[in-house]
Structure 1
């Protein structure tokens, strides 16, 4: 799979982008045979409508794509990706000048439309290719597409082939590709090195729990990414019903997303010192599984009462965040498929996030809006702090009542970040439930592009 732009050549087919409100002007400017062809095919500039204009020799002379109205485009993202999926397999060159925001978004969407997950069966060809439009940073967009493809591949792979050991292997492969250093603490060594909650959550699985610690870059501001790597979540002894367990291969979506983001940062050679921490576990059931009402002592020394073994993601993240906080970085970000409450609040398409610094939150919001990576800031609501304090221990991993589940999870994690001023937590979904432009059904990255866009301003690069 090659999510790259095609090389320009005389054979590249001209591609016109025609907004609905400009279709009459575009049609009038065409030769008579094209005007008649457009009329005969009902080409009206509707969003995603494709007109293939034949050449006299039977080949393709040009193509036109409907760009709809501004209201149409506001309802979704990656408008040109609709055309990529239906245009004949060939190489196209954009001959319409788009506004910079539309140009970059749609060039990236075209690349992402070529993604295929082909590990287990032959897939359809990648389809129509595009020459990099004038004015886009092709290297940047290709790096973003490559990182997103890594994220999607990791999430789409089922747990039989993407357990903690395989996730470690994927991280090692990435480290080799980008020239990063990597250390992994596994099994009983987690107890020796004081990661008790990572060990407790993962000790019942066949593949041992582990903490992956990857470092890249030697100069510049420090950035630490922490990703939840629960490779499958049965719910533990508080076992999930079958309907809720069906998508749990994606419960390592936070880890997949930070690894994809790390790939983007390193490929673009951003002047930062990057650290990636991934607690990789499988939350399974066995005689040595951790139990409801157990009290665990975390790396930070805070005690945690277990009131639901299915609220395990915050436990493994807590130990990893405590480690990160021992060497405060200029920016700390955690990403996790953490709560169903976040999905109820904002649906599957938006990445909700929390930030300890208002300027950081504003930068992430602005970046997400600028590049069509939708994010939404959620509040660290102080009055809910007492909901995560059970009385018998310092913290409760699953407050009763069912209210504010995403907020209380974020407040729980914040207790483990006391020395790092700029910290953001993303409670993502990591899954596209139905096909959409540039996003086939399956694993998907959320928030990574917004973070990448925000980094220069946040860190003063």
Structure 2
């Protein structure tokens, strides 16, 4: 997407006001504009918008309402509603919103439109970068978010394992990264869990492998769940549960978004990206409940539920990643409904035993308005994964602590990495909010990028 930033000496000013500041701000307006605001009953409610006319009928300036400083909650992405409200033109912030950098990012994210299948014109608006704001960094984060949104929003008939691999290959080529892909029956010997989940589909499963960066730099490996559609397998989902399962490759989409940010910023890392791309389908050769497979790591896995497939494909990819002993190993996946029950769609849980890493991730998540919440890798629950016939089950009975037991399952496949971070994202915005349209969403990638940029700039 082209940059939303521009320079202009005639940019239209946007004045941010709150209910408490509106009375004073109104008195600074020219008389005609002040009267126009009064006649329009503008009251500076959060999200309210008013274009004030110049004598010639053009827009002289824009009023936009924000929450008061003392409000119980403030949406720092509130200015992301502006691109959908403003007429075409170039604008500037006349005064400081609550956070100028996040407001500029929100403005960029608010310009997104998914237009692959129907006309949806991108807002023809530009913004003069606020003083002290790194426009290139904002563009970098926005471009990553747009990539993730486009990939997730594309329906599964046009975003199967092959198309996801093609998107990854295009990204690798853009930044001069290496690209390899293991396909179909080639997976059965070395990646049996990935093969098992994907073998029922007419669209062959894949393991995508991207490498980038100086070999002398610290090794950082990203793993993303790429289930391009999830029927639930033989443990079939109800129709309501399948409705947005095109988003089940959201972990892969967000890992690619994060990789784009890392490579564009030229962080001093040796980056590896692994994406198991599959479709969890139903056919005569679909894997079954109580089947047992020997994973890449040698751990035997009993299938407690075929709808707990994401952790299976991640397990083999994590095992491969772990063999190289990376300094930092990160996986993202749309994994459990339990995470949504616990924390809702907007607040993904993350897991790690590295206290420094946990503190850095939480701090960066807050700074970037990319919320994450730490959950425990609670050792007593690890025994719930025990199987009577295999080393481990992928779906313990009981139904409790589903996000935690998923994380504990994955932890069994990570042994040698210096630090490991697991994030159970939703990858979807159920109802539109400023800067966050309904549909596929970039979650955790900006927060993790911020953490990586602090460590490896």
When normalised by structure 2's length, the TM-score is 0.97
CA contact (8 A) 1:49 1:83 kept: no
- Residues 71 and 430 from structure 1, CA distance in 2 versus in 1: closer, same or farther, beyond 3 angstroms? farther
Alignment root-mean-square deviation, CA: 1.4
**How many residues are paired up?**
456
Deviates more, 1:77-86 or 1:56-65: 77-86
SS in structure 2 of the partner of residue 70 of structure 1? coil
The corresponding residue for 1:399 is: 396
CA contact (8 A) 1:150 1:256 kept: yes
Q: Is 2:153 the counterpart of 1:161? A: no
* Aligned mates of 1:395, 1:140 — CA distance in 2: 44
CA contact (8 A) 2:427 2:442 kept: yes
The corresponding residue for 2:192 is: 196
CA contact (8 A) 1:353 1:426 kept: yes
Shift of 1:127: 4.3
CA contact (8 A) 1:198 1:316 kept: yes
Cα displacement string for residues 146-182 of structure 1 (whole angstroms, at most 9, x for unaligned residues): 0000000000011100000000000001111121111
The corresponding residue for 2:167 is: 170
- Residues 125 and 146 from structure 1, CA distance in 2 versus in 1: closer, same or farther, beyond 3 angstroms? closer
Cα displacement string for residues 317-349 of structure 1 (whole angstroms, at most 9, x for unaligned residues): 000000000001111100000000000000000
* Aligned mates of 2:225, 2:248 — CA distance in 1: 8
Shift of 1:456: 3.7
Shift of 1:97: 3.0
The corresponding residue for 1:111 is: 108
CA contact (8 A) 1:73 1:79 kept: no
Cα displacement string for residues 121-143 of structure 1 (whole angstroms, at most 9, x for unaligned residues): 11134243322111111000101
* Aligned mates of 1:288, 1:307 — CA distance in 2: 17
* Aligned mates of 2:67, 2:129 — CA distance in 1: 22
The corresponding residue for 1:353 is: 350
The corresponding residue for 2:203 is: 207
The corresponding residue for 2:132 is: 135
* Aligned mates of 2:429, 2:450 — CA distance in 1: 22
Deviates more, 1:145-154 or 1:60-69: 60-69
SS in structure 1 of the partner of residue 21 of structure 2? helix
SS in structure 2 of the partner of residue 80 of structure 1? helix
Shift of 1:72: 4.6
SS in structure 2 of the partner of residue 276 of structure 1? strand
Shift of 1:418: 0.7
The ranges of structure 1 where at least 4 consecutive aligned residues each deviate by more than 6 angstroms after the TM superposition are none
Unaligned runs of 5+ in 2: none
SS in structure 1 of the partner of residue 20 of structure 2? helix
Q: Is 2:82 the counterpart of 1:66? A: no
The corresponding residue for 2:298 is: 301
Q: Please point out which of 244, 258, 261 is paired with 2:258.
A: 261
Shift of 1:227: 0.2
Shift of 1:385: 0.7
* Aligned mates of 2:198, 2:282 — CA distance in 1: 10
The corresponding residue for 1:182 is: 179
Q: Is 2:224 the counterpart of 1:227? A: yes
CA contact (8 A) 1:5 1:138 kept: no
* Aligned mates of 2:8, 2:101 — CA distance in 1: 21
CA contact (8 A) 2:5 2:135 kept: no
When normalised by structure 1's length, the TM-score is 0.96
CA contact (8 A) 1:77 1:437 kept: no
The corresponding residue for 1:147 is: 144
* Aligned mates of 1:7, 1:247 — CA distance in 2: 37
Cα displacement string for residues 81-114 of structure 1 (whole angstroms, at most 9, x for unaligned residues): 2233212222111121345xx1111100000010
Shift of 1:73: 7.8
Unaligned runs of 5+ in 1: none
CA contact (8 A) 2:269 2:456 kept: no
- Equivalent positions of 1:370-385 (< 5 A) are 370-385=367-382
